[in-house]
Amino acid sequence: MVKAIKVVTSREEYDEILSSQEKVVVQWSAVWCSHCKAIAPKLAQYDEDYAGITFIKVDIDDLPDVSEEAGLRAMPTIHFFHNRQKVDELVGADNTALLQQIKDLAGASS
């Protein structure tokens, strides 16, 4: 069984995760986004496969201020953070690109 990615429900929680974890993947999504739903099982699997990376999900409609600050242009958007700095971004549900960016983040040194 694939575990669910942590859903972040407050700015404080979002800020805490980004400031306390070395490597973070943020899935920006919305309940109305079919492509977000399509890529979600892959992200959940990678969450299990890559223990050194924290995976979180933020619903843009639940945290509009945080989403606006993130500068999103389309759904889904996935941000990759290393040591609190955004190092990459994926717009869309391209699993091949997603896996490569996760592998790149996993291999990034402190």
Which of 33, 39, 75, 90 is labelled catalytic? Answer: 33
Domains in the chain, CATH or no CATH each? 6-93 (3.40.30.10)
Tens digits of per-residue pLDDT, 36-47?
999 999 999 999
Q: Diameter of the chain by CA atoms?
A: 37
Q: 40, 30 in Cβ contact below 8 A?
A: no
* b (16+ CB within 10 A) / e for 42-51: ebbebbeebe
- Check residue 93 and report its DSSP letter: -
Q: Is the dihedral of CA 93, 78, 69, 62 positive or negative?
A: positive
**In the annotation, is 82 catalytic?**
no
Separation of alpha carbons 26 and 81, rounded Å: 8
Please say if 36 is a catalytic residue: yes
pTM, two decimal places: 0.94
pLDDT tens readout for residues 58-104: 999 999 999 999 999 999 999 999 999 999 999 999 999 999 999 99
Q: Which of 25, 36, 39, 98 is catalytic?
A: 36
